[in-house]
Amino acid sequence: MSEPVSSMVDLRRHLEAHLRSLRSAGIEWAPRGDKLAAKARPVPAVQPATAPTHVASIDAEPEETDSRRQELGVLAAEVAKCVRCPSLASTRTQTVFADGNPHAELLFIGEAPGADEDAQGKPFVGEAGQLLNRILAACGLTREDVYICNVLKCRPPGNRTPLPDEADNCKGYLERQIELVKPKFIVCLGSSAATQLLGPIKPLGQMRGRFHDYKGIPVMVTYHPAYLLPHRSPDKKRDVWEDMKSLMAKLGRPIPEKGAASAE
Ligand code: SF4
């Protein structure tokens, strides 16, 4: 029996938003229905009843042979349908999965998407994101050299701090991202990320400046770029720069001569 026209229009709109969300997350392909159906957890509340499990290949590119990207694509597809936090799922424009290179040695974790990120489907694209870009540039890095994600994949209304149950709901996605990317180092940007990875922490100022451990991966804790903006605590930029220098030294990467100046 053929679908009513309105259902088909809704289905197309949902699928287009879903594919845009995947593309924003850096996922340039999506698995065929059999793989997705086998691996994705069914969460029917957000998908229209008529939605198939098949997700067409974006831009009809040849099947990707990079299994890490494939696994991340499956995970991003699962996240895009997630409604474990009903209030966040009902207010988000889209989920914000990640940005950057799935093969990066450095993985950055922030707190949650803000308004700009929610609109664009990418983490760290607002004012704080611009500052993060400058910090990376000061280290001789671009966003394509690192992997960037958040504790929460959905925007908390009003940019409030994630609630403990929301962070718990989303924890498995972050853990899986780390497992798949296999970074050499993790940088927790702010206390939400540090608490999610390391458990209850001391004040952030006492956690920064040294390496912690997450499942054998060294973790640097430093201030979130939003905390460094002019109306908050720009004087802490110096501390972040010291943390990044320690990290680059551990990675064996030379810092560009004008790095400190460009981080300001
Ligand atoms: S924040 Fe995470 S767990 Fe909660 S609805 Fe969004 S994707 Fe799901």
Which residue range(s) make up the domain with 133?
90-263
Clarify whether residues 197 and 67 are in a common domain. no
Q: What is the pLDDT of residue 41?
A: 42
Q: Which atom of ligand 1 is nearest to the CA of 88?
A: 5
Question: Which runs of consecutive H residues, i.e. helices, occur in 81-190?
Answer: 86-91, 115-120, 127-138, 164-181
Q: For a substitution probing ligand 1, which of 88, 97, 175 has the most ligand atoms within 8 Å of its CB?
A: 88
Q: Which atom of ligand 1 is nearest to the CA of 112?
A: 1
Clarify whether residues 8 and 71 are in a common domain. yes
User: Which pLDDT band, with edges at 50, 70 and 90, does 49 fall under?
Assistant: very low
Q: Which atom of ligand 1 is nearest to the CA of 92?
A: 6
Residue 35: pLDDT over 90: no
Clarify whether residues 108 and 227 are in a common domain. yes
Percent pLDDT > 70 in the chain is 73
Cβ atoms within 10 Å of 83's Cβ, excluding its own: 15
- Domain boundary, last residue among 57, 81, 105: 81
Clarify whether residues 138 and 52 are in a common domain. no
Clarify whether residues 36 and 117 are in a common domain. no
257-262 contacts at long range (C-beta below 8 A, 24 or more positions apart): 258/138, 259/138, 259/139, 259/140, 260/138, 261/138, 262/134, 262/137, 262/138
3-state secondary structure of 54: coil
Clarify whether residues 20 and 140 are in a common domain. no
The CATH number of residue 103's host domain is 3.40.470.10
Clarify whether residues 77 and 117 are in a common domain. no
What is the tally of structural domains in the chain? 2
CA 259 to ligand 1 center in whole angstroms? 36
Q: Per-residue pLDDT tens for 2-23?
A: 444 445 555 565 566 555 555 6
Q: What is the mean pLDDT of the chain?
A: 82
158-171 mean pLDDT = 96
Q: What is the pLDDT of residue 182?
A: 97
258-263 mean pLDDT = 58
Displacement of CA 72 from its chain's centroid (Å): 11
Q: Per-residue pLDDT tens for 215-225?
A: 999 999 999 99
Q: Per-residue pLDDT tens for 234-249?
A: 999 999 999 999 999 9
Clarify whether residues 20 and 38 are in a common domain. yes
Clarify whether residues 165 and 210 are in a common domain. yes
Residue 204: pLDDT over 90: yes
Clarify whether residues 51 and 181 are in a common domain. no
Whether this model's pTM surpasses 0.95: no
User: Which pLDDT band, with edges at 50, 70 and 90, does 264 fall under?
Assistant: low
- Domain boundary, last residue among 63, 81, 99: 81
Clarify whether residues 37 and 134 are in a common domain. no
User: CA-to-CA distance for 261 and 264, rounded, in angstroms?
Assistant: 6
- Domain boundary, last residue among 59, 81, 103: 81
Nearest residue by C-alpha to atom 8 in ligand 1: 82
Residue 42, token pair as written in the block? 């069914």
User: Which pLDDT band, with edges at 50, 70 and 90, does 257 fall under?
Assistant: confident
Clarify whether residues 175 and 229 are in a common domain. yes
User: Which pLDDT band, with edges at 50, 70 and 90, does 57 fall under?
Assistant: very low
Pairing between strand 99-100 and 211-214? unpaired
